Structure 1
Amino acid sequence: MHRHPTAVGLRLALLGWLLLSASHAAAAEKASEGKARIRILATGGTIAGAQTRQEDSAYKAGALDVEQLIAAVPSLKQLASLGGEQVANIGSQDMNDAVWLKLARRINALLATPDVDGIVVTHGTDTMEETAYFLNLVIRSDKPVVLVGAMRPATALGADGPANLYNAVAVATHPGARGRGVLVVMNDEVHAARNVIKTNTTNVKSFESPNRGAAGLVHTGKVTWFEPVDTKHTHRSELSLEKVEKLPRVDILYAHANMSADLLEAAVKSGARGLVIAGVGNGNMSQQALEVLARAVKQGVAVVRSTRLMSGLVLRNSEVDDDKLGFVASGELNPAKSRVLLQLALTRTKDPAQLQRYFQEY
């Protein structure tokens, strides 16, 4: 039977397209062999932000989704076999306990499978240090977990997000990242979640570890490691989310000259199970505040003394008699991280001596 030449041509073209597609698929599969399998979990933030005009400082956080973030850095696929998930899409000023629990449980579930070698979390910078430390305490794996953000939105002139994301994936694929706990990658530096803080409102060099220094450096995907942290974290942590449906309320109050105690009393009356004081100097505060907090401890409220200063340690029984008053000294942890640790610790105990042990070991 005579076939129309056009039909034959179409069939040959279709066959050629199928063979070419199969060839491309095979090439892609071969290219991905041996690469680390990294899952990117997006939560929003400036790294996914967009401006109305590039000359404006205002922008909308979380305007882009995870697939757009990945597509904006094509060279990521040379580093790893990637997959993306949108866990949340918020500015990190709106980060909350519910998202923390959802994010941590999803990471634990992914890392428990042999199909995922590491996790990268894109996150807003305002509370990234808190989320990183929370995950550092409850992730049950030694596989790499890396948080990354940006100080400039994705549409800005000189946006820092693409380079930060590339470096974060490079760190997550690096064998030296395993067992180091949760890490934060910003501005060519790698920081341990326990140590890092945000130090500037807008500068791209905002994230630092004042007391201990960076955990490493990463430039165009090339990683150099420094000393690892010596505190408990991730798979060595005794803290977990098992049977935890809700985290206890812990409030932070800021000490200052002429500090009154009415806000402390209000926090206790409102149901706070723990209070963290961003104290002056070595975690100090007014005599009136000390007296109110001593009464709060007797009512079963946990009290942690931290400092409003950027660096240094809050020493136990220095200036304030912690043993007598039943307080906990935060050591290296700033108020924000003290709150995170206290929330988790209170799911296990409210004994001041045991709480102090957590602050010494974590």
Structure 2
Amino acid sequence: MTKQSPRPTVLVVGLGGTIAMTPSATDGAARPTLSAEDLLAAVPQLADTDVDIKTLSFTAKPGASLTLDDIEELASRLWAMDSEGAFDGIVVTQGTDTLEETSYLLSLLYEAKAPLVVTGAMRAPYLAGADGPANLLAAVTVAASPQACGLGVLVVFNDQVFDAARVHKSHSTSTNAFTAPDTGPLGSVVEGRLRLLATPAHKPLPMAAALTRPARVGLYVASLGDDGALLASLLDQVDGMVIAGFGVGHVPETWVPILQKAAQRIPVVFASRTGGGTTLTHAYGFDGSEKDLLSCGLIGAGHLDPYKARHLLTVLLRSGAGREKVRATFAPAGSTSEGRG
């Protein structure tokens, strides 16, 4: 199916989440029930955008229940649909609990001409000040803009545009919950148009191989006083591990023998638990420092936060990548194309 109209066509895909929730008749608590068509009906201003809109109600889940398999299936389906030339842009609506993760996953799995924009809502449609309609309107505007082409997967929230690799949910309830600590937004939507101010320094290359291999990747957060006993037990049960370390990538010195042993068997990546900044390579040299961990065979995540680092490692392992491929991929993906981890 190819598009017929000379106007830009945007596909709106519904995955559920707060933006699609209504109150239960039994207890009044919110649950995802609205379709993509329902979401569009709540935004009459879309008629003024000069954009043709199609819909796809893909699933209806809270963000916390989405899986990697869901996102892989979605990416494959959108890729196939894009090859038919039926639309010029895509908007995915979903729950905000995992939006910072799924958007990055999509950037690893989706490669097509049409810009892909992810959005959602912090307030359900039936609440005063619901932000879903405004976010959907802004997301459609960005997805239909020629300026969005070639920027990779974007997140649009509160009229701000973010790089999927940098976006972070920094508040549990605020409608201004999404930020990008290292870079700030790439632009904003003003007077119904995308105002682009910057472009991503690095766009991950989508993985060409199918994710056919099973791989379980753990995420373990460093905290004061943890002796590493639980970490050692967990490392025996996974195919890869991401350590959310202190500061620039530090861990307690008691962890070093445990991590060194594990790194001989599986890829172990260390990231910063702070949510901003980067891991370093040689500024500190004490036991458990970033220099020490690198010498023990661990891999630095650079600017990737622990959640995104876990998804990159998972996709690599499920696609059959070996240790050197993992290391080589994290070097540029963790920082910029000039980076080395």
Structure-2-length-normalised TM-score: 0.89
| 1:341 aligned partner, one-letter code | L
CA distance in 1, matches of 2:7, 2:91: 15
| 1:215 aligned partner, one-letter code | L
1:239 corresponds in structure 2 to 207
After alignment, is 113-122 or 220-229 more displaced? 220-229
Cα–Cα, structure 1 residues 188 and 232, in superposed 2: closer, same or farther, change >3 Å?
Answer: closer
Report percent identity of matched pairs: 32
CA distance in 1, matches of 2:214, 2:117: 23
Q: Does 1:68 align with 2:33?
A: no
1:294 corresponds in structure 2 to 260
Give the Å deviation of 1:252. 0.6
* CA offsets 1:244-300 (integer angstroms, 9 cap, x no match): 235521111111011132332232332x1111111111121112222211111112x
CA distance in 2, matches of 1:221, 1:110: 27
CA distance in 2, matches of 1:335, 1:251: 10
**Quick check: 1:62–1:89 contact (8 Å CA) kept in 2?**
yes
Q: Does 1:35 align with 2:7?
A: yes
| 2:44 aligned partner, one-letter code | P
Q: Note the residue ranges of structure 1 that are not aligned, 5 or more in a row.
A: 1-31
| 1:288 aligned partner, one-letter code | T
Give the Å deviation of 1:355. 2.3
CA distance in 2, matches of 1:67, 1:93: 23
CA distance in 2, matches of 1:124, 1:59: 15
After alignment, is 321-330 or 115-124 more displaced? 321-330
CA distance in 2, matches of 1:177, 1:159: 26
CA distance in 1, matches of 2:97, 2:22: 17
CA distance in 2, matches of 1:194, 1:332: 9
CA distance in 2, matches of 1:169, 1:208: 20
1:276 corresponds in structure 2 to 242
**Quick check: 2:294–2:300 contact (8 Å CA) kept in 1?**
no
CA distance in 2, matches of 1:186, 1:285: 34
| 1:91 aligned partner, one-letter code | P
CA distance in 1, matches of 2:214, 2:32: 25
Task: Select which of 150, 160, 185 maps to 1:214.
Answer: 185
User: Superposition pairs for residues 141-160 of structure 1, below 5 Å?
Assistant: 141-160=112-131
- Give the paired residue count: 321
Rg larger in structure: 1
After alignment, is 173-182 or 82-91 more displaced? 82-91
CA distance in 2, matches of 1:260, 1:336: 23
CA distance in 2, matches of 1:166, 1:202: 21
CA distance in 2, matches of 1:77, 1:249: 45
Q: Does 1:46 align with 2:46?
A: no
| 1:50 aligned partner, one-letter code | T
1:8 corresponds in structure 2 to none
User: Superposition pairs for residues 13-162 of structure 1, below 5 Å?
Assistant: 33-51=5-23, 59-79=29-49, 80-162=51-133
User: Superposition pairs for residues 178-193 of structure 1, below 5 Å?
Assistant: 178-193=149-164
Secondary structure of the 1:50 match is strand
CA distance in 2, matches of 1:103, 1:246: 18
Give the Å deviation of 1:220. 4.8
| 1:104 aligned partner, one-letter code | A
Give the Å deviation of 1:305. 0.6
2:222 corresponds in structure 1 to 255
Q: Does 1:313 align with 2:313?
A: no
**Quick check: 2:120–2:135 contact (8 Å CA) kept in 1?**
yes
Secondary structure of the 2:185 match is coil
* CA offsets 1:208-254 (integer angstroms, 9 cap, x no match): 11101111101352210021112133xxx1523x3323552111111
Cα–Cα, structure 1 residues 246 and 122, in superposed 2: closer, same or farther, change >3 Å?
Answer: farther
Give the Å deviation of 1:349. 2.4
Give the Å deviation of 1:34. 2.3
Higher helix share: 1
Give the Å deviation of 1:174. 0.5
CA RMSD, 1 decimal: 1.9
Secondary structure of the 1:116 match is coil
* CA offsets 1:109-168 (integer angstroms, 9 cap, x no match): 121121121110001111101111111112121321000011101111000000000000
**Quick check: 1:142–1:180 contact (8 Å CA) kept in 2?**
no
User: Superposition pairs for residues 191-210 of structure 1, below 5 Å?
Assistant: 191-210=162-181
**Quick check: 2:151–2:203 contact (8 Å CA) kept in 1?**
no
User: Superposition pairs for residues 165-180 of structure 1, below 5 Å?
Assistant: 165-180=136-151
Q: Note the residue ranges of structure 2 that are not aligned, 5 or more in a row.
A: 284-288, 334-341
CA distance in 2, matches of 1:247, 1:61: 31
CA distance in 2, matches of 1:113, 1:170: 22
